[in-house]
């Protein structure tokens, strides 16, 4: 694959813009300036191919898979209505190459958010047919009680739904801290379930999707690439 096409696939703009990036001396390979956008990288070298744009190092990735520790006050939309967009937390090439959220979190929800430009991956984790457990930590307004936990485990009927929805698990961690796992990804699902059980969510944080937990070392607002081990863990979910 030639350098122009590599830059194009990695989100550095149109083919013409990528050619211009190289011609303008903004691209290096292994630390050496490269001014030939037609230079060819053999397909067996692509997987580990690194290049620099304006001094920042990138590795070629056929598909992008990311984890973000979502802060409060950000919408999972490219066109936010009232808050900032989580896409402002990512480098431009990632949004340019079309990464999208793997299921949305509300603007005030924090924690584990996956993003990818692999449509099959996004579909696999958001399709109602493929039920992957999502684990949340909810801080509630009122102290939790057994009746609420039982209702969440046995199923609560949400407005507009024909069948009750049950949590995979509902455990009390503290007086007002609830660990709740759900399979579906319905609109405001956790908040609506907790309300239907007779309490109210004041704070919501997603800790886990399937077998993959929010990395401890990922500060709020930070993102990182998912590595092969992360993807294997997720795909086994
Ligand atoms: N359930 C909610 O109510 N909000 C979220 O952001 C995620 C799950």
- Tens-digit pLDDT profile for residues 89-101: 999 999 999 999 9
Residue 190 Cβ contacting ligand 1 at under 6 Å: yes
Mean per-residue pLDDT for 216-229? 96
H-run or E-run covering 224: strand 223-225
Residue 108 Cβ contacting ligand 1 at under 6 Å: no
Residue 189 Cβ contacting ligand 1 at under 6 Å: yes
Residue whose Cα lies nearest atom 4 of ligand 1: it is 188
Query: Rounded mean pLDDT of the chain?
Result: 95
Same fold, 3-59 and 65-127+212-234: no
* Ligand 1: centre distance to CA 117 (Å): 22
Question: Structural domain boundaries of the chain?
Answer: 3-59, 65-127+212-234, 133-209
pLDDT tens per residue across span 25-45: 999 998 899 999 999 999 999
Helix (H/G/I), strand (E/B), else coil: 101: strand
Ligand 1 atom nearest the C-alpha of 108 is 6
Rg (C-alpha) for the chain, rounded Å, is: 21
Residue 137 has pLDDT above 80, yes or no: yes
Tell me the C-alpha distance between 156 and 199, whole Å: 12
Residue 71 has pLDDT above 90, yes or no: yes
79 labelled catalytic = no
Mean per-residue pLDDT for 140-155? 98
Residue whose Cα lies nearest atom 2 of ligand 1: it is 188
Ligand 1 atom nearest the C-alpha of 185 is 8
Residue 106 Cβ contacting ligand 1 at under 6 Å: yes
| Topology, domain 65-127+212-234 | Alpha-Beta Plaits (3.30.70)
Residue 131 has pLDDT above 90, yes or no: no
Residue 24 has pLDDT above 90, yes or no: yes
The domain 133-209 having CATH identifier 3.40.50.1220: the answer here is no
Residue 70 Cβ contacting ligand 1 at under 6 Å: no
Residue 176 tokens, joined: 């007002």
| CATH class, 3-59 region | alpha beta
pLDDT value of residue 189: 96
pLDDT band, residue 15 (cuts 50/70/90): very high
Mean per-residue pLDDT for 180-200? 96
Looking at 24, 44, 54, 106, which residue is catalytic? 106
156 neighbors 195 (Cβ within 8 angstroms): no
Mean per-residue pLDDT for 133-144? 97
Say which residues have a Cβ less than 8 Å from residue 108's Cβ, sequence separation at least 6: 72, 73, 203, 204
pLDDT band, residue 237 (cuts 50/70/90): confident
């Amino acid at each position: 694959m030639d350098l122009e096409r590599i830059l194009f696939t990695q989100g550095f703009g149109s083919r013409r813009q990528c050619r211009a990036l190289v011609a303008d001396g903004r691209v290096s390979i292994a630390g050496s300036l490269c001014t030939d956008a037609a230079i060819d990288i053999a397909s067996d070298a692509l997987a580990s191919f690194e290049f620099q744009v304006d001094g920042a190092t990138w590795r070629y990735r056929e598909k992008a898979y990311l984890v973000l520790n979502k802060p409060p006050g950000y919408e999972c939309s490219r066109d936010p209505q009232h808050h900032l967009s989580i896409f402002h937390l990512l480098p431009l090439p990632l949004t340019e190459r079309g990464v999208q959220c793997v299921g949305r979190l509300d603007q005030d929800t924090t924690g584990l958010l996956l993003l990818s430009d692999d449509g099959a991956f996004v579909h696999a984790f958001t399709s109602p047919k493929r039920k992957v457990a999502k684990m949340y930590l909810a801080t509630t307004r009122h102290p939790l009680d057994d009746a609420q936990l039982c209702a969440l485990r046995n199923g609560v009927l949400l407005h507009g739904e024909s069948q009750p929805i049950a949590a995979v698990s509902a455990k009390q961690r503290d007086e007002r801290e609830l660990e709740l796992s759900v399979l579906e990804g319905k609109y405001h699902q956790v908040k609506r379930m907790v309300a239907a059980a007779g309490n109210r969510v004041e704070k919501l944080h997603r800790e886990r999707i399937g077998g993959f937990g929010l990395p401890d070392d990922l500060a709020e607002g930070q993102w990182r690439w998912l590595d092969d081990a992360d993807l294997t863990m997720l795909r086994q979910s």
